[in-house]
Structure 1
Amino acid sequence: MLRTVQRAKEATERVIAALRELKKSLMKHLFTYGPVPLDQADQVPLKETEIGPVPEHWEVVRLGSLLRVAQYGLSIRAGRVGRYPMLRMNNLVDGQVDTSDLKYVDLNPEDFVKFRLHKGDVLFNRTNSFELVGKTAIFDIEGDFVFASYLIRITPDTTQLLPEYLNYHLNWEGVQHRLKALASRGVSQSNISANKLKQLEIALPSIPEQREIARILQAVDRKIEAEERRKRALEVLFQSLLHQLMTGQLRVNQIGEEAKNAHQPVAKRSP
């Protein structure tokens, strides 16, 4: 029955919610104690700093001292046609670039070179609602993309700061609270300038620790994305079965078999 597909979708949504809570808890642990097992956290010597407790051997550094570039994007109107896709604030979703809703611009070669995004760039949402201002995403996809003026391109000095670590650190709620405190609030939008962003103090572990923190959180993100794909597939199946039922292409007893098959884990299906 259709209800079987709906139950499978609801179960997947619960898994996604649980994974998001796990990620939230992991971020608090990792940015407080470092990449150590949970049962060893009490063995990590901490020091109190202006941004809260961090491991004794970590530094607390102003972000601006770790950046090679902090650049505003293009102030140009984008449309549905054009040569280059331009990322806007709505394209930053859960720390990643979402290309499902793109607009395009035409640029001369000089401007394209100036505003072209490179893998490892971190995009910072400097202007948005108070709830969304300060969110970031890492650019790690193929293609000739540029970025809009409501975003700031942050390019770290990778000898000191890895972009993957920076992206997760800035999106952690502990840092988000401090970023919100820097925002200039308007009637409908808030703003955090590049100069204010550079003044933000962040926790700086060693490069190996940064890499391990990013690896752990990336693993959780991959699990979340896998469940999101499953949810989307179930939604498509539900709509397809409903359409076939309403148009008489499928009998009710057939629907039960379709839904039952959809509920089986992919890994258990025969090749």
Structure 2
Amino acid sequence: MFEPSLYQPLGNHLAVARNGTTQSQVQFSTEYPVTRIETIADGTINFGKVGYLAAPAEGYELQPGDILYSHINSIKHVGKVAQYFGEKKTLYHGMNLLLLRLDDEVDKRYLFHYLNNHNARHYAQKECQKAINQVSLNTGQLKKLSVFTPPLSEQRLIAHILDALDTQIQKTEALITKLEKVKEGLLHDLLTRGIDENGRLRPSPEQAPELYKESPLGLIPRQWEVKRLGGLIDGIDAGWSPSCSDVVPKEGEWGVLKVSAISTGAYLPHKSKTLPEGLSPIKEIEVNSGDVICVRANGVAELVGRTAYVFSTPRRLMLSDKTLRLRAGEGLDPLFLFLLMGSASTRKQIASFISGSSGQKNLSQNQINSIQVKAPSIEEQRRVAGALSSMASRIEKEKSARDSSATLKAGLMGDLLTGRVRVTPLLEKAQATSPA
């Protein structure tokens, strides 16, 4: 329920609102770190992206609870905030970020969350003064921002709820990062040692040199061979790039993948464009589950040859002209083919094909066919692919949990920070169950 009496201008709760020190920064580290615009780029105080002063800037030391506000930036980033918790003994407030120091009538974490929500960011983008390369929001305009300010007890409970979700999201992010590193190490072992008939990684060459042999790609298990990729795939399908509107196709509409749908190494079907009315689709290049798709051409050399495996996909998406589909033959597992395309030896060969070229880098079908790859038996390929698939599934499960928490948080921010949903019943329940 909207309660106008609980909305107040932000300026009513600011003890300090000012820009930072104009003292010149030096090009070397000192004991006087100072904030810069990029210090808060990710919504936290990043001490790896601070500047340094030659001497202290008296009166500009940040205090725990201070909020840094990006008031001069691109339209996309204006209104970003981060909060200082006193992580470092001293951090000075630099230019081009506003310092917001709050009075005691508002909870510091609550106001941080309020400034970090969609409505506050939208206000900054709407009220800022626009120039050619950047925008700016003056302090006076920022102070006019209308803030929902329920009683302090309610503010603290809202902040506690949102902080708990932040903690949960951060822990899940940390676990995902850890699992990604484990996956990277596992991938290396799988493509150098493989998995024996008992479902176990073979001992390393140092532990059991008799299990390995020399090859053009270095030591490989004795049961493996080195073959040309062209002898293992059934063919390569090229795509099509008609002129399309940059709009993601709706369900049932035909679309064409962008290169960015593949170039991260993960299949991202939402990176696609809608096929215009009047153009007939080429059904033969529709993307299907189980496809292995690689980047044929790109201006960035590192992205050429980047490959994604299609675990699942919406219907009616087609390959673009700058992508290729590699069709695995009977003796090649498609998921193992995906792993081979991302291996260090394959990446090295692709780099040699495109070295020296300028501008757009291209990978030809003949070059792909000539790539030398490690070739275990189809049974072992499936064991290797299965091991990696299990790890990938766990990572995706954690990513889904993270995204669910982020969605829940966004919904709660929209409800709790506007008064649309009040936490008063929770407070009343807590008070009723507390001992007298």
User: Deviation of residue 104 (structure 1)?
Assistant: 2.4
Choose the corresponding residue for 2:232, options 48, 60, 66. Answer: 66
- Does the Cα contact within 8 Å between 1:85 and 1:104 map onto a contact in 2? yes
Percent of aligned pairs with the same amino acid: 26
SS in 1 for 2:235: strand
User: Deviation of residue 139 (structure 1)?
Assistant: 3.1
- Whether 1:249 aligns to 2:420 is yes
Flag the 1:38–1:155 CA change in 2: closer, same or farther, 3 A: closer
Bigger Cα Rg? 2
Choose the corresponding residue for 1:149, options 302, 308, 321. Answer: 321
- Whether 1:211 aligns to 2:374 is no
- Over the aligned positions, Cα root-mean-square deviation in angstroms equals 2.6
Deviates more, 1:186-195 or 1:218-227: 186-195
- Does the Cα contact within 8 Å between 1:241 and 1:255 map onto a contact in 2? no
Q: Distance in 2 between matches of 1:28 and 1:186?
A: 29
SS in 2 for 1:74: coil
User: Deviation of residue 22 (structure 1)?
Assistant: 0.9
SS in 2 for 1:131: helix
Choose the corresponding residue for 1:40, options 197, 200, 203. Answer: 203
Flag the 1:104–1:185 CA change in 2: closer, same or farther, 3 A: farther
Higher relative CO (Cα under 8 Å, sequence separation at least 6) belongs to 1
Choose the corresponding residue for 2:399, options 228, 233, 238. Answer: 228
Q: What is residue 163 of structure 2 aligned with on the other side? A: 3
- Whether 1:130 aligns to 2:301 is yes
Choose the corresponding residue for 2:255, options 70, 85, 99. Answer: 85
Report the TM-score, using the length of structure 1 for normalisation.
0.83
- Does the Cα contact within 8 Å between 2:228 and 2:369 map onto a contact in 1? yes
Q: What is residue 22 of structure 1 aligned with on the other side? A: 182
What are the superposed Cα offsets for residues 135-174 of structure 1, whole Å, 9 maximum, x if unpaired?
Answer: 11223435233211100111121x2111111012212344
User: Deviation of residue 49 (structure 1)?
Assistant: 1.8
- Does the Cα contact within 8 Å between 2:257 and 2:320 map onto a contact in 1? yes
Q: Number of matched residues?
A: 253
Q: Distance in 2 between matches of 1:233 and 1:58?
A: 43
Q: What is residue 181 of structure 1 aligned with on the other side? A: 352
Q: What is residue 166 of structure 1 aligned with on the other side? A: 337
5+ residue gaps, structure 1, are 257-271
Q: Distance in 2 between matches of 1:5 and 1:235?
A: 8
Equivalent AA in structure 1 for residue 319 of structure 2: F
- Does the Cα contact within 8 Å between 2:244 and 2:274 map onto a contact in 1? yes
User: Deviation of residue 183 (structure 1)?
Assistant: 2.2
SS in 2 for 1:52: coil
Q: What is residue 50 of structure 1 aligned with on the other side? A: 216
Flag the 1:50–1:132 CA change in 2: closer, same or farther, 3 A: same
Structure with the largest fraction of helix: 1
